[in-house]
Amino acid sequence: MKARTFLRMIRRSVGNFAAISRGRFLKRTYVPEPRSAISIETSQRCNLACRFCAYPKRGPGKFMTLATFQEAVQQALHYGSHEFWLTPMLGEIFADQKWSEKFRYLENELGVQKFGFFTNFILPSPGQILHLCDYKKLSSLHISIYGHDLNSFVAITRRPKAQYDRLINNLEALGDIISSNKFSCDIHFSMRTLGGISAATIPNTPLVVLLKKLKDMGNVTFIVSTDFDNWGGTVTEEDTKEIATGLIDGRGIYMFGACHLLFSTPQISANGDVRACACRDVDGSLTIGNIYSEPLREIHSWSNPVFRRIVDEQQSGQYGKNCRSCSMYRSVYDHRPAHNTPRWPIVSLVEAKKVLQQK
């Protein structure tokens, strides 16, 4: 493990210990209010093969059918969610040729208040990007950028110059749309590049200059992330040695208490399985049911013994292999996520359980 990665892991562990101890001493918990939002995995396929991602090892999966998507949306609405997030884990949303049909379904469904999605922004055409302006419920667009120039893009994604050129063209097209005031949703760029490069040291390559220009246009943010995790132990230092990105191993981080991600946004997978975590459940160990076997409202529920067992075990400091290796962990005793990212209302663990007991 690289020295800077080791120090970052130690700092995080010390920070976790202090925050969790504070919460336990004060007998306070901080949980995103359940049923505020839902994640739906419309695509299990990606056009990239990033060295620090679990996708190359898991391999391509399937696309969610339109019928399953419609069923998932209806069950989510009955469950109580009105905010939807599409494909937040491994797949690329635009790899699915039916993406526009699913967007239209969300747009036309009265119960849906807003939706957002994650993408590497390479596959859509400029015309399809312009078409995004038609979706008034599209509230947030998260674009992942890999590499700060052509060479780093190729090294990280293991994909050719043609895909990099397409990304540049699409970003320029997006800039034209934003400048014409046709696009009103929030846009968030998150760049991951070679190890040792941060926001303070990143060179002003044409790609970086373009992203900074977009950032100045309106509701746009641009960050350079220096945190790389091992996807619950799936990705190793050997996988990333050519791009020099150290990996934070959750096994070296202090943990106690249930992870708040178990409560915020469960994920409905392409085949209808429900995962208690939408971030790093690579091995399926957090699967708690399937929407074709029982309703979502009864799956992500305190009456579901599978879900309750996961929470109870973590409350007593017991974690499965996937969770123990995950650096995305945030304890329900940790007040910092509630203050740093107030995305949803925060309630106590007792109140969260009451919400999850509602039929």
| Percent with pLDDT over 90 in the chain | 75
Res 153: pLDDT: 98
Q: Is the model's pLDDT at 1 over the cut of 80?
A: no
pLDDT per residue over 249-286, tens digit each? 888 899 999 999 999 889 999 999 999 998 888 888 99
Q: Where are the domains of the chain?
A: 3-357
Are 84 and 76 in contact by the 8 Å Cβ rule? The answer is yes
C-alpha distance from residue 184 to each of 181, 269, 308 (Å): 7, 29, 40
CA distance 144 to 122: 10
Return the bridge partners of 39, or none: 85, 267
Starting at the earlier edge strand, list the strands of the sheet with 273-275.
220-224, 186-192, 138-146, 114-119, 83-86, 37-40, 267-268, 273-275, 287-290
Sort 292 into a burial class: Cβ within 10 Å, 0-12 / 13-18 / 19+. exposed
Nearest-CA neighbor of 30 among 232, 215, 261? 261
Q: Which amino acid is at 305?
A: P
CA distance 296 to 80: 10
Determine the angle formed by the axes of helices 161-179 and 206-215, rounding to 10 degrees.
Answer: 20
Sort 209 into a burial class: Cβ within 10 Å, 0-12 / 13-18 / 19+. exposed
DSSP conformational letter for 63: B
Phi/psi of residue 315, nearest 5 degrees:
-65, -25
pLDDT per residue over 128-186, tens digit each? 999 999 999 999 999 999 999 999 999 999 999 999 999 999 999 999 999 887 788 99
CA distance 359 to 355: 9
- For the ranges 7-16, 69-78, 91-100, 334-343, the lowest mean pLDDT is seen at 334-343
| Percent with pLDDT over 70 in the chain | 98
C-alpha distance from residue 57 to each of 95, 97, 168, 234, 295 (Å): 18, 24, 28, 8, 31
- The residue assigned the tokens 């949303």 is 93
CA gyration radius for the chain?
Answer: 20
Residue 342 pLDDT class (50, 70, 90 cuts): low
CA distance 252 to 141: 33
Residue 87 pLDDT class (50, 70, 90 cuts): confident
pTM of the complete model: 0.93
Mean of pLDDT values over 192-209? 95
CA distance 45 to 265: 21
Residue 2 pLDDT class (50, 70, 90 cuts): low
- The residue assigned the tokens 């950032």 is 215
Res 247: pLDDT: 85
DSSP conformational letter for 33: P
Q: Is the model's pLDDT at 228 over the cut of 90?
A: no
Return the bridge partners of 164, or none: none
Q: Is the model's pLDDT at 19 over the cut of 90?
A: yes
Res 89: pLDDT: 80
Enclosing H/E stretch for 142: strand 138-146
Mean of pLDDT values over 303-330? 93
Res 252: pLDDT: 87
Mean of pLDDT values over 35-53? 95
C-alpha distance from residue 302 to each of 81, 118, 150, 276, 355 (Å): 17, 29, 49, 12, 9
Are 318 and 11 in contact by the 8 Å Cβ rule? The answer is no
CA distance 113 to 106: 9
| Alpha-helix residue ranges (DSSP H) falling in 80-223 | 99-108, 126-131, 150-157, 161-179, 206-215
CA distance 280 to 288: 15
Mean pLDDT for all residues in the chain: 92
Are 62 and 98 in contact by the 8 Å Cβ rule? The answer is no
- CATH tag for 3-357 (out of 3.20.20.70, 1.20.1740.10, 3.30.565.10, 2.60.40.1180): 3.20.20.70
Res 59: pLDDT: 80
Residue 340 pLDDT class (50, 70, 90 cuts): low
Q: How crowded is residue 162: how many other Cβ atoms within 10 Å of its Cβ?
A: 9
Mean of pLDDT values over 88-106? 94
